[in-house]
Amino acid sequence: MRSIAILGATGSIGTQALDIIEKYPGRFRASALAAASDSRGLFALARKFRPDACALVNECEIPDDLKHISWFFGADSARRMVSQVPSDDALCAVVGIAGLGAVLDAIDSCKRVLLANKEALVTGGGLVMEKARRKKCELLPVDSEHSAIFQCLKAAGDNAPSRLILTCSGGALRTWDKDRIDTATVSEVLAHPTWRMGSKITVDCASLMNKGLEVIEAHHLFGMPAEKIDVVIHPQSVIHSMVEFEDGAVLAQLGNPDMRGPISYAMAHPGRISYGGARLDFKKLSALTFDEPDTGRFPCLKYAYNALKTGGTAPVILNGANEEAVASFLRGKSRFGDIARAVDYALNKCEIKPINSEEDIYAADQYARQAARDKLKALGAED
């Protein structure tokens, strides 16, 4: 029986992980659950999964029947919970840089880390990977592309990869022209063609920022330089990513676009379990197509590559400005096209510094957010 702390329990990844736990009651147990403000959602999960501990960012009144659970409150509640409450694994599925501290603390407390929270690697990849090495902590990717690459590398044994190829659905606006992309509405952007996910990552998919963040994530997880990480548009989302080797051979991992695949793979690693999803039916696949990403219409991918090549706090600035601009877009305060403008502005405006500590990361994040707010305001954002 493996006990798992689920950080981001009420979200898209968290609830899908809990669905798998429910299917395998003798094999997994949700020992701790963390969320931000969805107290009603967390109470319902706590009643169903009976964890030892729960954490909420926003403090609230706890119902009598849940008072026997250990409760943690505040901005660092997930961090304290993951440090203090024993479990074998921690599924880190908080969205944004807000999850970085809990990833570091999960490693510090020697838990096996199932990592969905890509922004933790984008902003703190150097610190996270160094700590994981030092603590001999197993870090398993949950992001589908990185899970695919991890599986391909495992299948390749000792052969080192020469190139990683990340596939990308292209997002909801893949075929749109530049002017239409600029003024896409929230509901148009959230209509992702192949994956059902939280709102922030779905916006990132439409801008191709998600793929940019994933390039940086792949760099940290697999130690590959930006020049050896390619992105290819693959609208069917059947090939989850690929690895090329010295002789030109390419290994790919395929499956239906269902996040329970990579989540269950990380949970059951080194084994595999059935999560009950539909099997890939090759006779029904009419075509698998591939295309070059268009960074003219989707410049965020280019900004992410540049930030990775620049190094230091550049990826933190990219991420902080993006989080700020995406939140403003989702609140209906700014245009979709302003996300790329705010990120570009912040990257040019903020001084790039080396990262020596977690504090360096949060300082750069704050500068980037302020720069993004300034730019959005200048562009006519309503608040």
Binding site for ligand NDP (CB under 6 A): 8-14, 34-38, 41, 57, 78, 93-95, 98, 116-119, 143, 195, 197-198, 200-201, 259
Task: Report the helix count and the strand count for the chain, using DSSP H and E.
Answer: 15, 11
Minimum CB separation from ligand NDP for residue 337, in Å? 22
CB closer to ligand NDP, 119 vs 344: 119
CB closer to Mg ion, 57 vs 326: 326
Minimum CB separation from ligand NDP for residue 11, in Å? 2
Q: How far is CA 14 from CA 9, 25, 136, 345, in A?
A: 4, 16, 25, 34
Q: State how far the Cα of 167 lies from the Cα of 235, in Å rounded to an integer.
A: 9
Contacted entry of Mg ion, ligand NDP, none for residue 116, CB cut-off 5 to 8 Å set by kind: ligand NDP
Minimum CB separation from Mg ion for residue 174, in Å? 16
CB closer to Mg ion, 90 vs 215: 215
Place of tokens 């075929």: 175
Minimum CB separation from Mg ion for residue 145, in Å? 5
Q: State how far the Cα of 279 lies from the Cα of 47, in Å rounded to an integer.
A: 32
Q: Can you name the residues that pair with 56 across neighbouring β-strands?
A: 35, 73
The one among 143, 244, 338, 365 contacting Mg ion by CB under 5 A: 143
Collapsing DSSP to helix, strand or coil, 255 comes out as coil
CB closer to ligand NDP, 173 vs 197: 197
Three-state SS sequence of 86-136? CCCEEEECCCCHHHHHHHHHHHHCCCEEEECCHHHHHHHHHHHHHHHHHCC
Contacted entry of ligand NDP, Mg ion, none for residue 239, CB cut-off 5 to 8 Å set by kind: none
Name the residue among 257, 225, 230 with its Cα closest to residue 242. 230
Collapsing DSSP to helix, strand or coil, 356 comes out as coil
Other CB atoms within 10 Å distance of the CB of residue 247:
7
Position closest to Mg ion via CB: 143
Minimum CB separation from Mg ion for residue 214, in Å? 5
Contacted entry of Mg ion, ligand NDP, none for residue 94, CB cut-off 5 to 8 Å set by kind: ligand NDP
Position closest to ligand NDP via CB: 11
CB closer to Mg ion, 32 vs 307: 307
Minimum CB separation from ligand NDP for residue 4, in Å? 15
Contacted entry of Mg ion, ligand NDP, none for residue 233, CB cut-off 5 to 8 Å set by kind: none
Sheet arrangement for strand 239-245 = 229-233, 161-168, 239-245, 250-254
CB closer to Mg ion, 46 vs 189: 189
Minimum CB separation from ligand NDP for residue 303, in Å? 17
Contacted entry of Mg ion, ligand NDP, none for residue 257, CB cut-off 5 to 8 Å set by kind: none
Kind and range of the H or E run holding 231: strand 229-233
Backbone angles phi, psi at 216, to 5 degrees: -65, -40
Q: Residues interacting with Mg ion, by CB under 5 A?
A: 143-145
